[in-house]
Amino acid sequence: MGLHTPLFLEHQRLGARIVPFGGWEMPLHYGSQLEEHHTVRREAGMFDVSHMRPIDIDGADATAFLQYMLANDVARLTATGKALYSCLLNEQGGVVDDLIVYSRCNERYRLVVNAGTAEKDLMWLNAHCGSFAVTIQSRPDLAMIAVQGPAARAKTLPLLPAALRVAAETLAPFFSAELESEQWFIGRTGYTGEDGFELMMPAAQAPDLWKSLLAAGVKPCGLGARDTLRLEAGMNLYGHDMDDATGPLDAGLEWTVAWQPAEREFIGRAAVTARRTDPTRRELVGFILIGAGIMRDHQLVLRDGVVVGEITSGGFSPTLERSIALARIEPGIDGNYTVDIRGKKVAARIVKLPFVRNGVSRIEL
């Protein structure tokens, strides 16, 4: 049996289909994954993401430590509360995990890492903190709820502790605010391509907030909709689009590697720098299927009849009502593409990411 989040009973009460995920038992959907997806694009949905792990990095060397650990540069977090997406690389330039880092005042940061990799990440951080004056504190005591969709903020604001509400109302995208005395933390971030909040609070308070959101008309959404939403938004999923052996340059994440300043040493820098000119480097691109069928992970991609790569995240786009995918292919975009779907070569074409943003398709069908 897997681990349960503080909201597990709520999921059971709502009739969720529960599936194992990254060591946890999580809701896949509460009836219809498609409806949940559309609700987030059109109105507001909420996800229990308490399986994800906040990790607090505090201390005099917190900035220096994260500048050494992360491929992106926390020096870009020039304002308190600002958030940054980054990969945690290994020496070979592979991705240990991808994460969001929020800056807090006075040499304090909060990372939020993936569920299945949380223990690995903690070991990795602890193994490298030796000479830095930092403390690394895992925060499994906090629950996380993501409220996403065009109406998400308006529905969430009245339910926040009064002392946090004003800050939350004026929060800019990719910024966070917190009410430290109550251990409430709010980020205007997400994983759906829609506006919204990600909220952290003490585990015991999560069920009440969940029920209040439900009463306010926010629809519970499972991991199924979370996956189709992030795929439409062109966002990577760890373990599918990148992993310990596949680095950021081969996963469409070069924009998250801060090359400047050149003198900043970070783990994996030499390897990813070498990868820039490596002829075996691959690129991650978006595909939309022209023919009938659904692209799935690991199906082969052919250019002019020759295999040039494979699907890393494939599925059905509820917004476009077509199959869409991320695929890792050999460089050289031009050509006629097909995807091998159970032995059939089905026509597909490359499109610019994202597929969908803020409820609107970015793709000409």
Contact set with another protein (CB under 8 A)? 17, 28-29, 32-34, 224, 228, 292-294, 296, 315-316, 318, 323, 342
17 vs 211 by CB, closer to another protein = 17
Q: What are the φ/ψ torsions at residue 123 (nearest 5 degrees)?
A: -65, -40
193 vs 318 by CB, closer to another protein = 318
> Per DSSP, what are the bridge partners of residue 143?
201
94 vs 224 by CB, closer to another protein = 224
177 vs 237 by CB, closer to another protein = 237
Measure CA 203 to chain center: 21
Q: What are the φ/ψ torsions at residue 182 (nearest 5 degrees)?
A: -100, 0
- Shortest distance in whole angstroms from residue 140 CB to another protein: 28
- Shortest distance in whole angstroms from residue 324 CB to another protein: 12
- Return the HEC string of 20-43: EECCEEEEEECCCHHHHHHHHHHC
Nearest CA to 97 among 222, 229, 268? 268
28 vs 96 by CB, closer to another protein = 28
Nearest CA to 232 among 363, 361, 356? 356
- Shortest distance in whole angstroms from residue 316 CB to another protein: 4
Tell me the CB-side half-sphere exposure of residue 334, using CA atoms within 13 A: 0
116 vs 293 by CB, closer to another protein = 293
Q: Is the Cβ–Cβ distance between 40 and 61 less than 8 Å?
A: no
- Shortest distance in whole angstroms from residue 31 CB to another protein: 9
- Shortest distance in whole angstroms from residue 221 CB to another protein: 13
- Shortest distance in whole angstroms from residue 200 CB to another protein: 28
Q: What are the φ/ψ torsions at residue 199 (nearest 5 degrees)?
A: -115, 135
83: tokens are 């958030």
Nearest CA to 228 among 332, 355, 54, 101? 355
45 vs 315 by CB, closer to another protein = 315
Nearest CA to 190 among 149, 159, 132? 149
3-state SS assignment for residue 277? coil
- Shortest distance in whole angstroms from residue 224 CB to another protein: 6
- Shortest distance in whole angstroms from residue 87 CB to another protein: 27
Nearest CA to 101 among 215, 189, 226, 27? 189
45 vs 224 by CB, closer to another protein = 224
Spell out the long-range contacts of 167-173 with Cβ–Cβ below 8 A and sequence spacing 24 or more.
Answer: 168/197, 171/81
3-state SS assignment for residue 309? strand
